[in-house]
Amino acid sequence: MPTINAQRIPPRIPVGLVGVTGYTGMELTRILAGHPGLELVRATSRSEAGRTLAELYPYLSGPGDLGRMGALTVTQPDPADLASACQLVFLAVPHKTAQEIAAKLIALGVKVVDLSADFRLRDKATYEHWYATPHTEPSLLAEAVYGLPELYRAQMATARLIANPGCYPTSSILGLAPALESGLIHTDDIVIDAKSGTSGAGRKAGVGTLFCEVSDTFRAYNLTKHRHTPEIEQEVSLLAGAAPGKGIALSFNTHLLPISRGILSTIYTRLSKPMSLKDVHAVYAERYKDEPLVRVLPLGALPETRWVRGTMFCDIGLCVDERLGRLIILSAIDNLCRGASGQAVLGANLMLGLPETQGLPTAPLMP
């Protein structure tokens, strides 16, 4: 009988993760555990060094790749050690900490995807105002590519440093992009009413996120001062072609849902001319027709967080209030996956020459 040559499977690309104990680090291990092109070879934590990943996360136990990842011992964050083993490193650490580690890794020739806010804002003074801390790497601030593929896919593919977008900005910017690019709406009266699950607050213990504080209630927080505001304004101003110094100012309002994960953003805008829902829907459908991870829902359908939970999808629904001349845009994502860790892996795929959606979850966690 003829010999059948087994298909050769290329070796996976070694990557590292700085900050494995938070929710974004946890979600990254979930995604990387099933990624056919990336292998997690370093995971770091100052507080949990010396333990295995399986000790931290028992779901990383079992045969095959899952067990191999679970057997990985957590180490102290050491840029030289990370550079010796990894082609790319994910930074899942707080702002300020990330810029210092990123600079060292890039100097050592390692690509970086930063999940913090340290490189999202292009203007140093704006960053320092909203985050109340100096930015010590202004050259990297100018180099970093904002990691939203629907806007910056080509630039992401050649980047050394990707600034992973925030969760609220991802849902807001994707919701607004077609309307702004096509001039469908006025830019001086945009209100974003956004709601997030409690995992968006991070894993650090705090009274405000205790079960009894969030269960069976609903509240607003950080009104007029949420740090994602300048990030959204920066990107939507670029989309609208605003002149320098004449950027869009909008009202961004956040609320805490009694669920673990998910974001639903309801965006109120004013149409620049009378349009039917059908015509607006056609603009959105055309803009996102080739985007694998944005779903413009059928006419009359509205998004829900449960249909995107654990996935990379951004679901968009539209409503036109003809009486008031308003376009209402609804955008739903999973804040941990599309809004953080999954989007970071997508960025890594592009940076490393892998298929964009490789290893990324698209079936929702149900129920």
The amino acid at residue 273 is K
Q: Considering the candidates 86, 167, 314, 337, report the single residue annotated as catalytic.
A: 167
Spatial CA neighbour of 44 closest among 87, 82, 70, 88: 82
Work out the angle between the directed axes of helices 342-351 and 23-32 (0-180°, nearest 10): 50
SS3 label, residue 16: strand
The structure tokens listed for 107 are: 């100097």
Residues paired with 317 in a beta bridge: 330
120: left (phi over 0), alpha (psi -120 to 50) or beta: alpha
Mind giving me the DSSP string for 2-52? PPPPPPPPPPPEEEEEE--SSHHHHHHHHHHTT-SSEEEEEEE-TTTTTSB
Phi and psi angles of residue 140, each rounded to the nearest 5 degrees, phi first? -75, -30
Separation of alpha carbons 210 and 207, rounded Å: 5
User: Does 167 qualify as catalytic in the annotation?
Assistant: yes
Sequence-ordered list of residues with C-beta below 8 angstroms from that of 224, at least 6 positions apart, any chain:
none
Residue 138 is classified by DSSP as H
Q: What residues are labeled active site? A: 167
